[in-house]
Amino acid sequence: MKIYNFSAGPACLPKAVLRQARRELMFYGESGMSVMEMSHRSADYEEIHEKAKADLRKLLSIPDNYHVLFIQGGASMQFSMVPVNLMTEHRRAYYVKTGEFAKKALAEAKKLGGVMVPASSEDRAFAYIPELKKEMFTEPADYVHITQNNTIYGTRYTKLPDTGGLPIVTDMSSNILSEKINVSDYGLIYAGAQKNIGPAGVTVVIIREDLAGKAPENTPSMLDYGVYVKNDSMYNTPPTYGIYISGLVFSHLLKNGGIEAMQAYNEKKAALLYDYLDSSSLYKATADKKDRSIMNITFVTGDAALDKRFVAEAKTYGIVNIKGHRSVGGMRASIYNAMPVEGIKKLIEFMKDFERKA
């Protein structure tokens, strides 16, 4: 049976990329060895590293005054690295509270400086993105942190706040490469790889050059963006195999129409599922319509026992990892770039059958 993996992350990867990795698993090019076995200082690896960076630059049209870094420690380490490096002048920052990861980011920042919360959507279980007005950002601050796509609650920003010039730092872990962005709207973008980029273990950071190298003297090297910039993300051994797979994904996207084509495909996939949800009398999408994510689609039947049955029976259709996050229950279909439209159609077919029987 064909399996469709709706996991929120680690998530499905393009089959073409996995096939290429399989072909090259034992021997990469003329090297006579696997990428996993290569020195990170070798010419072969260096080429992989530089191509991955260059392809990501092409995909997102990253301007020259931004650095691309590959860091370990997941997006969660960025929750700490961001304040360590950037909360240095005013020693405080704005954090918009839109979900569990936003809360975690905020909690880490609080250990290092002052945190101001201009808006939150906690009052309605994070089912929406609060309205952000320029008047909310008048205090001196080093940056404004947002979580662009809220993986657990299925919401996303459809427009960026006017912060009156304060740099926007965004967590794009669950939506990077899914839709067009304008990199120069941001001071810093970070994203764990395991959804739209590659395997877990790599985190991509795109940082405006004036924001790197601002860390205090006593900052541990491995937490200092300046050290990563200076050493081309090779101050120590980088996660070489993860970067290699990420590079294959970037190149695959470039060959298939880039971000624009991906966005159109993602919008089509999400519309199929939301349209069905809106027409159904059994299922209810949980996020406010205006803020719906096109990556993580959350829904419930309104009956926890029925939700449980849904998740169990879905498996018989090859639909796996559709259970909602443990903190909210219900269902969540994570439909990242690599989820084919056939997967959505299969899910809807199952949902209709289940609805008929329920």
The site for ligand PMP (CB under 6 A) is made up of: 9, 74-76, 101, 147, 151, 171, 173-174, 192
DSSP for 94-113 reads EE-B-SHHHHHHHHHHHTTS
| Rounded Cα–Cα distance for residues 248 and 246 (Å) | 5
The residue (of 55 and 171) whose beta carbon lies closer to ligand PMP is 171
* Minimum gap (Å) between residue 97 Cβ and ligand PMP: 13
Alpha carbon separation from 71 to 145, 172, 219, 235, 320 (Å, rounded):
19, 15, 16, 10, 30
3-state class (DSSP) for residue 238 = coil
The residue (of 9 and 238) whose beta carbon lies closer to ligand PMP is 9
* Minimum gap (Å) between residue 78 Cβ and ligand PMP: 8
DSSP for 286-342 reads -S-GGGB-SSEEEEE-S-HHHHHHHHHHHGGGTEES-BPPTTT-SEEEE--TTS-HH
* Residue whose CB is nearest to ligand PMP in the complex, by number: 74
Q: Is the distance from CB of 113 to CB of 93 less than 8 angstroms?
A: yes
Residue recorded with tokens 């980011």? 105
For the chain, the straight-line distance linking the first and the last C-alpha, in angstroms and rounded, comes to 24
* Minimum gap (Å) between residue 286 Cβ and ligand PMP: 17
* Minimum gap (Å) between residue 101 Cβ and ligand PMP: 4
Using alpha carbons only, what angle is made at residue 27 by residues 23 and 30, rounded to the nearest 5 degrees?
115
The residue (of 151 and 321) whose beta carbon lies closer to ligand PMP is 151
The residue (of 132 and 351) whose beta carbon lies closer to ligand PMP is 132
* Minimum gap (Å) between residue 358 Cβ and ligand PMP: 30
What are the backbone angles phi and psi of residue 150, rounded to the nearest 5°?
Answer: -95, 100
The residue (of 151 and 301) whose beta carbon lies closer to ligand PMP is 151
* Minimum gap (Å) between residue 323 Cβ and ligand PMP: 14
The residue (of 175 and 251) whose beta carbon lies closer to ligand PMP is 175
Peptide bond connecting 10 to the previous residue in cis, omega within 30 degrees of 0: yes
